[in-house]
Amino acid sequence: MYRGRIAPSPTGYLHTGHARTFYTAWQRARQTKGQLVYRNEDLDALRCRSEFAAAAIHDLRQFGLDWDEGPDLINPSNPAGGPYGPYNQSERGPYYLQAWQQLFERGVIYPCPWSRADIRKYLETQEAKNGQRPMPNGGQHADSETVFPAALRSPIPTERPASNPGNTNWRLRLEYGRQIYFQDQQQGPQVFTAGIDFGDFLIWRKDGWPSYELAVVVDDAAMQITEVVRGMDLLLSTARQIILYELLHAEIPAFYHCELVTDQNGQRLAKRHASLALRNVLQQISPVEIRATLF
Ligand code: GLU
């Protein structure tokens, strides 16, 4: 049975790029007579707002999508919105904590005192000193994401601390040089190298919540998702997530990465493109016409 998902983050109004990705997810679930899950990825308390969560559901329904499980489908006979609820990430804390425990027990994560600004500063200082960024395990990935440098790694804790992560960031210690392969259903074969394309990445945030990478793997596994449809901007994240599926002994789903929608200058859409907010476009043209412009 195909199980797909739509997983928006309520940090602003959805734009037509989201509509394209989510329509593809919906279509793939419906064509295979599978199920579609709606998951509200509301973990970032500073950026997420409940009015955007409500707007995303409203706008996608108006666009013509529907789903079989989700936070808006709660009723007395379906108290969690479906068999794998809750479907708001902010209500799934215990699942994430359990995954943190599992990774801790496996001895693959370590607490990291460095902030993003510290890491950037370290890389800049090294560059000024040596004329180049520390290689091969530090540097700048093409998408300008900072690769966490080996020199800033902390040891893996050997003694069991408290049974929770505490107020600190945790990173996954990678096996440098390891290649991650996957066959993308839309983009074809992909390969990324740990330590070059990405560094030790964040697992847990000091605000008490998991990183995006951990939360999404825990939820996709718990919700029995068989195919993840998402934007191409997340290809690198998928490589990181495959490592987590393995470490958590979870089944790796299939992946389908959609092309991104760009504006007239070739810039990929972001929530700041207010004129391309799905709700604004829906006031001018019909869902069918929107789809015709997107595909
Ligand atoms: N919530 C993420 C976003 O809106 C996407 C999650 C995913 O597809 O893995 O960018």
Centre of ligand 1 from the C-alpha of residue 271, in Å? 13
Residue 33: its pLDDT value, please? 98
Choose the weakest-confidence range: 64-78, 124-138, 252-266: 124-138
Q: Which two tokens stand for residue 193?
A: 């190298």
Residue nearest to atom 8 of ligand 1 (CA): 230
**Mean pLDDT of the residues in the chain:** 92
Residue closest to 23 by CA, chosen among 273, 274, 266, 261: 261
Per-residue confidence band for 136, with pLDDT thresholds at 50, 70 and 90: very low
pLDDT level of residue 139 (50, 70, 90 thresholds): very low
CA 82 / ligand 1 centre spacing (Å): 20
Top pLDDT among 265 and 150 is at 150
Nearest ligand 1 atom to alpha carbon 220 = 9
What number does the ligand 1 atom closest to the CA of 237 have? 9
Band (pLDDT 50/70/90 cuts) for residue 145 is low
The predicted pLDDT at position 274 comes to 75
Is the pLDDT assigned to residue 137 strictly greater than 60? no
DSSP the chain: --EEEE----SS--BHHHHHHHHHHHHHHHHTT-EEEE-B----TTT--HHHHHHHHHHHHHHT---SB-TT--BTTBTTSSTT---BGGG-HHHHHHHHHHHHHHT-EEEE---HHHHHHHHHHHHHHHSS--TTTSEE-TT-PEEPPGGG--PPP-S---SS--SSEEEEPP-TT-EEEEEETTTEEEEEEBTTTB-S-EEE-TTSSB-HHHHHHHHHHHTT-SEEEEEGGGHHHHHHHHHHHHHTT----EEEEEPPPB-TTSPBP-TT-GGGBHHHHHHHS-HHHHHHHH-
Give the distance (Å) from ligand 1 centre to CA of residue 105.
28
Q: What is the pLDDT of residue 141?
A: 46
Residue 209: predicted pLDDT: 97
Residues with Cβ within 6 A of ligand 1? Answer: 7-9, 41, 216, 230, 234
- Distance of CA 262 from the midpoint of ligand 1 (Å): 18
pLDDT digits (tens, 9 = 90+) for 50-62: 999 999 999 999 9
What's the CA-to-centroid distance between 30 and ligand 1, angstroms? 20
User: Which structure tokens are listed for 8?
Assistant: 């928006």
Q: How far is the CA of 8 from the centre of ligand 1 (A)?
A: 6
Q: What is residue 282's predicted lDDT score, i.e. its pLDDT?
A: 97
70, exposed or middle or buried, with CB in 10 Å at 0-12, 13-18, 19+? Answer: buried
Q: Tell me how far the alpha carbon of residue 48 lies from the centroid of ligand 1, in angstroms.
A: 13
Asked if the model's pLDDT at residue 286 lies above 90, the reply is yes
Indicate the top mutation candidate among 39, 230, 241, 256 to test ligand 1's pocket, ranked by most ligand atoms within 8 A of CB.
Answer: 230
Return the ligand 1 atom nearest residue 229 CA.
8
> Which of the listed residues 41, 227, 229 should we mutate to test ligand 1's pocket, taking the one with most ligand atoms within 8 A of CB?
41
pLDDT at 271 over 80: no
